[in-house]
Structure 1
């Protein structure tokens, strides 16, 4: 294992040990790509994600106030939504790109803690959601109600578990030079190699295995005769399955880049501008996935979709009413002629 002294690390774009024409050209090209991706993310994905997230919160709160019932799936999706909204706000750290946010080591560690908390949180809430869907399809309603009758306990367990994981990651960032200013990223470059290994294991390896296992059981196991048809089951919970696939793909790319950066640390190498570019792309893809997840919930989750369609229908009806021209009725009573 490499030494835990990471003071030698620096971004290739900040290292000017070699100034060959090829490296300068690669540096300029990577900076242009990062800048364009950042502007695209801030201009398109962030507004789309925040608007969708606010609409989801309003819909869930209104549904609860009207019906006074707490649906297990809705409560977990509400928790998932809040986690992704926090992730979007944390993603504002990419605004200085192609440069990096300037912060002390301590401030960067705190930022990393909250980033990892949202990251782990959304992953494991999704696992509980998939578990509920599997129970609903393969077990009787009585078993389902016993297993998920208290979704608040599921949320509490996820919060405690993700807090412990995030605290562990904060320790693995390192405690040296906490007052020194540095270039800060959501996953700090100066973190120990164990940081990336733990993050890959608990932030992708275990959740991805559970997701694949859930899909395998869903498609391979024969459901009871009274259970809903598989295609209809997928259509009913389309938002959850689309989110699962999106998270798996985006997190796979992101974690591969994380592991590759770990190999560079172990080899005592700072990498190339291309390596730095790929890590930045992976980070923006991860943040874009949080925005896309909120859009998927708003468009495909039935309570949200029904509420949106209801609003559109009401708007159309109001426009029709306002555009309707009422023709005044003119009295045609004949005038009496004087006798």
Structure 2
């Protein structure tokens, strides 16, 4: 039985309307279940393990060397944000079913998730800006201010993300039924179309346009550069470019489905089982983007890569010592 939803849009798997093909519902639920098992079994533990490793390496470097480079600082912030997104993704563990909680609880979870969602996008824009700004006289003063006030810049970024999240939450349209039980996702299905449009505009459309602008500026700088300084700077921060590609690819699919969901609400149409399958898959692809970003940070960022090699070398020495000790012990017992 469908729970109350004022938008008139329901999950086919939860309503079981007579017009819906049961075989399609069963097929889509089987696919969702398999995709979820793959995500929970591979991407979640991989992302959490890599994220904790990145935090340990960068924090240890800060303690040992008493300084933290700008790239380390922003990648550390991105790692924390990606880790929180992975943790929020555990709310999807009930698929192909959905969490049944109150609108109040669902709105709170959605609001907290959106803070991480917007923060990751804004941090990436900031990292992209600091990569191209030193080579542009008009932006050099701005990047100098950003680099000298990193904590203040991060605080402003998070505060801006909180404000965007509060704006989106205010448009959910569930304030009159806070204690009514609903099927909950991180972007609730029973949210008003205005919520979906704000999420799409502030979380994907504008950031993508800014990213495209920064990318064109970077290409222009590379073509106009007379020395290798610009190319060396890009090579040193290639992890930022990979983050941009991964975030765009993972969020494009999700936001296309978000807009499709909005069109169904505005046109008062029903969601098909295939559309439910695609939306759930897009959500898991979105979460997987955070795990991939963490993987690229660990393998491509110099200090993280060096930290991994040191860790492996340390483990190798421990194993060699253990084997040597066992060999000596066996010789002693033989005598």
TM over 0.5: yes
**C-alpha deviations, 1:49-78, integer Å up to 9, x for none?**
000110111111111111111322211111
- Shift, 1:319, TM fit: 3.4
The residue matched to 2:268 in structure 1 has which SS? coil
1:1-339 to 2 correspondences below 5 Å: 6=6, 8-19=8-19, 23-138=21-136, 143=141, 144-174=143-173, 175-221=175-221, 222-228=223-229, 230=231, 232-323=232-323
Coordinate RMSD, CA, aligned: 2.1
8 Å CA contact 1:53–1:85 kept in 2: the answer is: yes
> CA separation in 2, counterparts of 1:30 and 1:6?
25
- Shift, 1:321, TM fit: 4.6
> CA separation in 1, counterparts of 2:187 and 2:28?
20
8 Å CA contact 2:134–2:140 kept in 1: the answer is: no
- Shift, 1:210, TM fit: 1.2
- Shift, 1:79, TM fit: 1.2
Partner residue in 2 for 1:334: none
**C-alpha deviations, 1:253-308, integer Å up to 9, x for none?**
11010000000000112311111111101101001111111111111111111111
- Shift, 1:314, TM fit: 2.6
> CA separation in 2, counterparts of 1:39 and 1:248?
24
> CA separation in 2, counterparts of 1:220 and 1:187?
38
- Shift, 1:25, TM fit: 1.2
**C-alpha deviations, 1:223-280, integer Å up to 9, x for none?**
54455252x4443222211111010111111101000000000011231111111110
- Shift, 1:217, TM fit: 1.2
The residue matched to 1:10 in structure 2 has which SS? coil
> CA separation in 2, counterparts of 1:146 and 1:177?
46
**C-alpha deviations, 1:117-149, integer Å up to 9, x for none?**
110000000000001111234459974534421
TM-score normalized with structure 1 length: 0.89
**Residues 219 and 311 of structure 1: is their aligned pair in 2 closer, same or farther, counting only changes over 3 Å?**
same
Count of aligned residue pairs for this structure pair? 320
> CA separation in 1, counterparts of 2:66 and 2:139?
21
The residue matched to 1:102 in structure 2 has which SS? strand
The residue matched to 2:171 in structure 1 has which SS? helix
The residue matched to 2:6 in structure 1 has which SS? coil
Partner residue in 1 for 2:331: none
Work out which of the two has the higher radius of gyration on C-alpha atoms and give 1 or 2: 1
8 Å CA contact 2:9–2:264 kept in 1: the answer is: no
Partner residue in 2 for 1:329: none
> CA separation in 2, counterparts of 1:168 and 1:112?
12
> CA separation in 2, counterparts of 1:149 and 1:237?
19
TM-score normalized with structure 2 length: 0.90
**Residues 59 and 90 of structure 1: is their aligned pair in 2 closer, same or farther, counting only changes over 3 Å?**
same
8 Å CA contact 2:131–2:234 kept in 1: the answer is: no
Moved more, 115-124 or 130-139: 130-139
> CA separation in 2, counterparts of 1:200 and 1:140?
30
> CA separation in 2, counterparts of 1:259 and 1:141?
35
**Residues 147 and 188 of structure 1: is their aligned pair in 2 closer, same or farther, counting only changes over 3 Å?**
closer
8 Å CA contact 1:102–1:182 kept in 2: the answer is: yes
> CA separation in 2, counterparts of 1:281 and 1:142?
42
Task: Return the structure number with greater helix share.
Answer: 2
**Residue segments in structure 2 that go unaligned for 5+ positions in a row:** 329-335
